[in-house]
Structure formats: structure tokens, C-alpha cells
Amino acid sequence: MIQTPYLLFLGDAPDNLAAKVAQGIKDWRPENAVGQFRMEGCKADVGIQDMTLQEGLDAGAKTLVIGVANRGGVISDAWKAVLVEALQMGYDIASGLHNLLRDENELQAAAKVHGRTLHDVRIPTVAYPIANGVKRSGKRCLAVGTDCSVGKMYTGLCMDAEMRKRGLKSTFRPTGQTGILITGGGVPLDAVIADFMAGAVEYLTPDNDEDHWDHIEGQGSLYHVSYSGVTMALIHGGQPDALVLAHEPTRSHMRGLPDYQQPSLEDLRDTALGMARIANPDCKIIGISINTQHMSEEDAKTYVKDVEDRLGLPTTDPFRFGAERLVDALLEL
């Protein structure tokens, strides 16, 4: 088990989106985050107290969590110096990067000498099966996005929280490092061998009560040439009964791909629903989730209304305005 509370390591993240792991923990498990550690040049800020490593220990932190999800998941030499110092001071370290802590000799050596633990949460711990496409009992909802990091996880967490608030049967099913660090379990889907990804999603969302909903954490985008494969595995392995379209309207291009533009919500609707109905012919799109974090309150409300009028589907920013309407639409299926 990863010991809590955490000091969130933001390193030298170039922007807030790069620190989405830390932001997710701060938003959904604030009781586990005593502060943030930022290196010189860091341009991210998740809105909690800046602390040195010593101040974090004094505040009770037991684990330094790498809260950055950089492209390629690399641990730089500058980061490594801080991480070694943290181990020497008595921290455990947790990371969801593709660059595993266990593969860094200096970190392994420091952890061994000082009796600390390295937690790599992006390592599959189960021999997942190949998907068989057999229909499972229970219900499943999946958010699919026009791009990466547009609020798919937040959509699932918000809908799950709203259903639990109403006393309904609901489970959030994490498929990435942030969700795993928030909930303590799940499948690190993008680290699963490709042939077994859809099977891992089947494993994650087993048979359940007919009135139980699994909210599967979305990943990637069908329109993102780098990460579309993981999205397809979620769609076919999840066999969702319901899809929510997720979109962040202020971007000028796809995340990390300046030569690619985001698709329209109409294009995503038509593509995603066709793919989903291969595995579940009864799948329906029940609503739209808009990430309005970079918009004013007035502009956000106007944009949400315009999208709803245009597409004829319940539309909201579930983190900012609540997930009630999306849950209402889900329960009408």
C-alpha cells in the first residue's frame, strides 16, 4: 500500500496540464495532499501550499508522488537528484510514469540503503485475458474525448459521486495512473500489452447487478494518432451501454500534435457510436461533458447551452456545474 499523506512533486512541469496527476489528487483526495514541491522553472500550480522536502516531512507527508505526466514519461537527471534526496530524507516515492522508478539504478540504490519503497503504479499486476466479447451483466458508462486530457476521468468521477450521493449502485473504474493513485486500484491500461488491453477492461468491469453502473475512466482519443489504440480497447472491452462525449473548447490543436486539429463533437459522436455498437449494439450517447476550466463563468454557460442546442443532448461541465443532468440521462436508459 502507498502510504499517505503525499507531497506532490510538480518538478519543472511546463504547464498545469502536464501536472494533471497532481491536480487530480488535489481535487479528489485533498486530504491526502499536504503540499506541492516545485523546482525552479516550474510553470504548474495545483493551488496548494509550496513546501520544501523538509517542510513536507514536518507536515506529515510519507510519500513523494510524481504528479507530472510528461510526454514519454521520462525521469530527467534534474528530477533524479531531488528524488534521491527525498529517499535519503525518509520519503517513499510513487510514480505513474512509463520510465519506471525500479529501472533507475540511483533510485534503487538509495531506496535500499535507506529502507524506502518505490511504487511504480503503471505496472500491470494481473495476467489479463484476451477479450472474448461475451456480454456481461450490469451497466457501463464511458467518456470518450475529442482529445487527450479533456476531462474524461473527471466526468466519470463526477457521475460516480453523484450516483453514490443518490444512494445508487456505482463504481468508478480507473484505467490510468491518476485514477489509480486517487482510488488505490485499477488497471494501468496503456502499460498492458496491446493484445490484452480489451481483455483487461473486461476484467476490470466484471458481471454485476443489473442496476449497477461502472464508470470506466476514459483514455486518449479515437482522433489522436498517438493514443487512439487505448481508446479503442476501452470501447470494445468496456462494451459501454452509455457514452459521454468530452471536449475542451479552448485548444488550438490536439495535445502534443500542433499539426492536428480536434474533431467536431458531431464527428466524435458518429465515429465513437459506430465503434461502440460493434461490441454493444444497444449503446447510446447520453450527454456531453465540457471542460470549461479556462473560460469565464458567463462564457462557460453560454458555450454549454450552445452545444446542447446544437446537438440536442444534455450538456454540462460536471466538475464546475454538477453531474446531475448526465446522471438523469443515464438513468433514463
Strands 92-95 and 33-38 turn out to be: unpaired
Q: Are 175 and 219 in contact (CB under 8 A)?
A: yes
Residue 71 confidence (pLDDT): 66
pLDDT higher than 80, residue 73: no
Which helix or strand (DSSP H or E) is residue 66 part of?
Answer: strand 63-66
Residue 72 confidence (pLDDT): 59
Over residues 128-157, the pLDDT tens digits come to 999 999 999 999 999 999 999 999 999 999
* pLDDT classification of 37: cutoffs 50, 70, 90: very high
Residue 1 confidence (pLDDT): 85
Distance, CA of 217 to CA of 180 (rounded, Å): 10
Query: Residue 226: which of 98, 96, 76 has the closest Cα?
Result: 98
The pTM of this model reads 0.92
Q: Are 217 and 121 in contact (CB under 8 A)?
A: no
The C-alpha cell at 40 is: 525552479
